[in-house]
Amino acid sequence: MKQGAQPGNKNAYNPNAKTRHPLYETWRGMRQRCYNPKRTSFHRYGGRGIYVCAAWDDFWGFVFDMGEKPVGHTLDRIDNDWHYTPNNCRWVIGKTQYRNHRKDELGRWIEA
- At 84, phi and psi to the nearest 5? -80, 100
State the angle between helix axes of 59-66 and 24-35 in degrees (0 to 180), rounded to the nearest 10: 110
- pLDDT tens over the chain, length 112 residues: 444 455 555 555 566 678 889 999 999 999 999 999 999 989 999 999 999 999 999 999 999 999 999 999 999 999 989 999 999 999 998 755 555 555 555 554 455 4
pLDDT at 112: 47
Query: Which pLDDT belongs to residue 55?
Result: 97
d(CA 37, CA 71): 30
pLDDT in tens, 34-44: 999 999 989 99
Using CA atoms, how far apart are residues 2 and 27, in angstroms rounded to an integer? 16
